[in-house]
Amino acid sequence: MSEKSSALFQRAVQLIPGGVNSPVRAGKAVGIDPLFISRAEGCYMWDADGNRYIDYVCSWGPMILGHGYPDIIRALEKRISRGTSYGAPTDLEVEMAEMIVDMVPSIEMVRMVNSGTEATMSAIRLARGFTGRDKIVKFDGCYHGHADSLLVSAGSGVATLGIPGSPGVPKDMAMHTISLPYNSLDSVTKAFERYGKDIAAVIVEPVAGNMGLVLPDRAFLLTLRDVTKHSGALLIFDEVITGFRVGPGGAQEFYGIMPDLTCLGKIIGGGLPVGAFGGRREIMERMAPVGEIYQAGTLSGNPLAMAAGLATLKILKNREIYNELEEKGRALFSGLEIAARIAGQDIKVNRIGSMGSIFFTKDPVKDYGSAKKANAVKYAKFYRAMLQKGIYLAPSPFETAFVSMAHDKDSIQKTVECAAESMKGL
C-alpha cells in the first residue's frame, strides 16, 4: 500500500536525521513510518503511491481554505514570473502590514519574519530589550518554536517524543525561563509575587494547540493581562496557530483580551514559510533600524509568501466564512463524540471553531498534566485504523486537528463513519 513511501523513507534516513525535517512527521508516537506526500487538492492529499486521504492536518493549520485554493494559486503564478526574492522592500510587505494592522486588534506596527519560531524569538528579545529584564514566563505544554529558552517544558514534538527540554540548551539560558501549569491562576500569582520585578514577559498560546487543543479559562487570560500590566512586564500572545484561524482577529478578539505583542504565522503565508510579530507602536519602535534592538532576515517579507498570504487574508476578511468553519468544526467533532459513545470509548473533545482534539480519557483536559494522562496507546491504534481508511490525522496525541473550507458534508460524514468503525476495533 505504501511501497514508494517506504522506499523514500529508507533513502531519507541515510541522509536526514530520522528521515524527516521536523520530528513529529516521523510517526514514532503512532507506530508508523511517515507517508511521503506527492500532491494535495481541496481537503485531500495523495501519497507517493497514489493513495488518497482526507486531510485534517492542513499543513499544521495554514490551509484554512483548502489545498491549492484557486485565488492563492493565481496570486503565486502572477508573482513568480517577477522573481522569487529580492532582499529589498516590496509593495506587498506594505499591503500585508496594512492588512494585519486592520484585522488584529492589538497590533499597531508589525514586522515580517520567516517562521513562527523567528516571531516568538524576536518578540521575546524585544520584550527583554524594552523592559530591561531577563526572565520569561511560559506554560507547560505550550510550544513556541525551537528557540533555546522556549524548549523548557514545551509541547508539540518535544511532548510527542518525550524529550525533557532539549540537550544543547545552556543551563544559564534555561534558568531565565519560568514554566508554569496552563490555566493555573495561583501559580501565576505566586510567580509574580516572587519574581515580578525580573520578569520581562509572559508568552502564552491564548488557545493551546501543542498539547492537543486545550482551551483557556478566560479568567486565566485576564489574570495574565492584569499581573503583567501591574508589574511592568509585557504580555505576548503566540497566535501562530490561532491567528486568523479562530476568527479574523484571532483569539485576542474572540476573548476580548489585548496583549502587548502578538506572534503570527501559518495562515499569513497561505501555506508558504512566513511569520510576523507586532504590537504597540511604542514597543515596536524600539526595533532596529529606528531603535536599538536588532533583528533581521534576508528572506523576511518574501514576495511569494506575501502574495499567497494577502490572497488568503482578503478572503478571510469576510466574517461569514467563520460561521461556516464553525459549522464544519461542530459537525466533525460532535460526530466523533457520538461515534465514541456508540463504540463505548471514553473520549474528551476540546474544540474552538475549526480546530480541536480528541483525548482518550474520562477526565477533562485543561492543562499539560491532564493531557499526558490521556491514553496515548489507544490514540496510536485509532490513528493507524483511520489512516488505513483514508483519513489523515496528526501523527501525535499532542497535536491539533484542523478543518478547512474545503471539507464538505460528504468528507466529514465519511470521517465520522470511519471513526465509528475504528473505535469499535480498539
pLDDT above 80 for 169: no
pLDDT above 80 for 152: no
pLDDT tens column, 59-73: 999 999 999 999 999
Q: What pLDDT is recorded for position 148?
A: 63
Per-residue pLDDT, averaged over 118-141, amounts to 96
Name the catalytic one among 33, 238, 260, 367: 238
Q: What pLDDT is recorded for position 167?
A: 66
Per-residue pLDDT, averaged over 113-140, amounts to 96
- Predicted confidence band at 157 (pLDDT cuts at 50, 70, 90)? very low
Indicate the SS3 state at residue 44. strand
Q: What pLDDT is recorded for position 197?
A: 95
What's the Rg (C-alpha) of the chain?
21
Beta strand residue intervals within 96-218, DSSP E: 109-113, 135-139, 177-180, 199-204
Q: Collect all residues with Cβ–Cβ distance below 8 Å to 204 and sequence separation of at least 6.
A: 138, 139, 142, 182, 221, 224, 235, 236, 237, 238
Q: What pLDDT is recorded for position 24?
A: 85
Write down how long the chain is. Answer: 426
Name the catalytic one among 266, 328, 348, 378: 266
Q: What pLDDT is recorded for position 361?
A: 97
pLDDT above 60 for 162: no
In the sheet with 52-55, reading across from the earlier edge strand, the strands are 37-41, 44-47, 52-55, 391-392
pLDDT tens column, 286-321: 999 999 999 999 999 999 999 999 999 999 999 999
Backbone angles phi, psi at 355, to 5 degrees: -135, 145
By C-alpha distance, which of 245, 221, 252, 263 is closest to 353?
245
Per-residue pLDDT, averaged over 361-389, amounts to 96
pLDDT above 90 for 25: no
| Distance separating alpha carbons of residues 301 and 313, to the nearest angstrom | 15
Per-residue pLDDT, averaged over 419-425, amounts to 94
Q: What pLDDT is recorded for position 163?
A: 42
Per the DSSP assignment, residues forming a β-bridge with 203 are 236
Cα within 13 Å of Cα(224), Cβ side: 31
Any idea which residue has 501525535 for its cell? 396
161 vs 265, residue with greater confidence? 265
Name the catalytic one among 143, 182, 379, 392: 143
pTM of the model: 0.94
pLDDT tens column, 107-123: 999 999 999 999 999 99
Answer yes or no: 143 catalytic. yes
- Helix residue spans in 344-408 (DSSP H): 368-373, 376-388
CA 251 to chain centre: 12
Answer yes or no: 372 catalytic. no
Q: What pLDDT is recorded for position 151?
A: 65
- Predicted confidence band at 153 (pLDDT cuts at 50, 70, 90)? low
pLDDT tens column, 267-279: 999 999 999 999 9
Per-residue pLDDT, averaged over 155-172, amounts to 54
- The interaxial angle of helices 409-424 and 376-388, nearest 10 deg, is 120
| Distance separating alpha carbons of residues 269 and 289, to the nearest angstrom | 25
- Looking at the chain, the whole-number percentage of residues with pLDDT higher than 70 is 95
pLDDT above 80 for 413: yes
Average pLDDT, the chain: 93
Q: Which three cell numbers stand for residue 19?
A: 528521515
Backbone angles phi, psi at 244, to 5 degrees: 65, 5
| Distance separating alpha carbons of residues 177 and 199, to the nearest angstrom | 9
- Looking at the chain, the whole-number percentage of residues with pLDDT higher than 90 is 88
pLDDT above 60 for 417: yes
Per-residue pLDDT, averaged over 394-415, amounts to 96
Answer yes or no: 69 catalytic. no
Check residue 212 and report its DSSP letter.
Answer: S
